[in-house]
Structure 1
Amino acid sequence: MKKNLLSILCISILTLSVFSCKDKAKEAVTSEAEAVTMVEAAAIEYTVNTDASSIAWKGFKPTGEHFGTISLKNGSINLKDGKITAGNFIIDMGSIVVDDIPAEEKSNAKLVGHLSNSDFFDVEKFPTATFEITGVTENDGKTLLSGNLTLKEATNNVTFPISVINEGDTVTLESETFTIDRTKWNVQYGSKSIFDNLGDKFINDDIELKVSLKATK
């Protein structure tokens, strides 16, 4: 009986480990801020369609996860010969939406308020975040976008894989799902890497993101 119980326990732990590893997106390469790329004279500017663009987010804790979207306030991409050469985006931090809790439930508004207050993104003090492109490279058949992400007065350079489709007057940019360590941008609430004695009340440092963006001439 003990052997059977031990076998079941081992299988359960192994299954959970495999599932967790499979589900976790790769962390974006993060480094110090870099010089922003300058707009070339021959480049064509595309203006971001904010209604058709968003950033999907997901946060994790031992008891589950929350997810939703954040909108862009404005932005532009510059292309030359069909390739991205420069660009910048303003992220509207006041547009945080929670999708895993029905909008009519009080807990939805409570979570949005918690994410918006000084514990997390302090939207009243920091209503926007910015992303400024610093480079685009190719590696192992993938296009990698690098840029300075500024959030709560902290700036770090992040690099993540993207796909770009240029059709007529429209450019569609989609990132792969990636994660960032929120503590590098001064978002420290519930982080067990910052605070001791949290027990199982901690919140993972990793925030999962996926960028979906459309822009037109």
Structure 2
Amino acid sequence: MKTTIKTLLVLAVVFGTAAFTTSTIERKEVKEGTITWKGKKILGSHTGTIDLKSGYLEMDGDALTGGEFIVDMTTIVCTDLEGDTKGKLEGHLKSDDFFGVENHPIATLTIKKATKSGNTYAVTGDLMIKGVTESIDFDLEMGDSGASTSVKVDRTKYGIKYGSGDFFDSLGDNAISNKFELDVVLKF
């Protein structure tokens, strides 16, 4: 009987204390975000931008614990070309050969885990492009009013195989790298 009462008292204290514990999770909404992309091919590269639709980081004190970002894929713009060539590349990137924005107008990143070392976090997240979700790892530099990262994404993991030497023979100088780069700057 004494053991039962002691057990009940210990449980009451544990659950009672948990009820009064307050969460310190703060949501840092992104006020401004810049996403610059770079795609490479054998004989050169192209650069451009994509708009961040919305995003936030979840912070527990000064520790990053999560976050989510939504990218408007319909806003893909090429910044290194002009005129008809620019329009053709942008149209091709928006087509089903690449990002299929008519059926997949957004891409998302959800932060699942972050490990801090100084001002840098080793982040693991789920990146969804064209309805396909894959885990991705990258480093995120944090400051008081913003954050930045450079991420390399293997497009073939998301079913984007156009021009890939891994899937098509005889591409020669027309082969396109499987990885594209994203440079992201966030302001809170």
Match of 2:157 in 1: 184
- Is 1:70 paired with 2:50? yes
Match of 1:137 in 2: 115
Match of 2:173 in 1: 200
CA distance in 1, matches of 2:124, 2:105: 23
> Structure 2 residue aligned with 1:173, among 144, 147, 157?
147
Match of 2:29 in 1: 47
Q: CA RMSD in A?
A: 1.7
Length-normalised TM-score, structure 2: 0.83
8 A contact 2:119–2:141 mirrored in 1: no
What letter is aligned with 1:164? M
CA displacement 1:166-201 (0-9 Å, x = unmatched): 2xxxx30101x3312110111111011011222222
CA displacement 1:120-154 (0-9 Å, x = unmatched): 00000100000000011136984212210001121
- Structure having the higher strand fraction is 2
What letter is aligned with 1:196? D
Length-normalised TM-score, structure 1: 0.72
CA distance in 1, matches of 2:112, 2:99: 24
The structure number with the bigger radius of gyration is 2
Alpha-carbon shift at residue 159 of structure 1 (Å) = 1.1
Alpha-carbon shift at residue 109 of structure 1 (Å) = 1.1
Identical aligned pairs, as a percentage?
A: 37
Cα distance, 1:89–1:107 mapped onto 2, change above 3 Å: same
Indicate the SS of the match to 1:122: coil
Match of 2:124 in 1: 146
8 A contact 2:152–2:182 mirrored in 1: yes
Alpha-carbon shift at residue 156 of structure 1 (Å) = 1.0
Q: How many residues align?
A: 167
Match of 2:10 in 1: none
Instruction: Map 1:1-217 to 2 at 5 A.
Output: 41-49=23-31, 52-102=32-82, 105-138=83-116, 142-166=120-144, 171-175=145-149, 177-215=150-188
CA distance in 2, matches of 1:41, 1:96: 38
8 A contact 2:126–2:134 mirrored in 1: yes
Q: Give unpaired runs (5+ residues) of structure 2.
A: 1-21
8 A contact 2:120–2:140 mirrored in 1: yes
Indicate the SS of the match to 1:204: strand
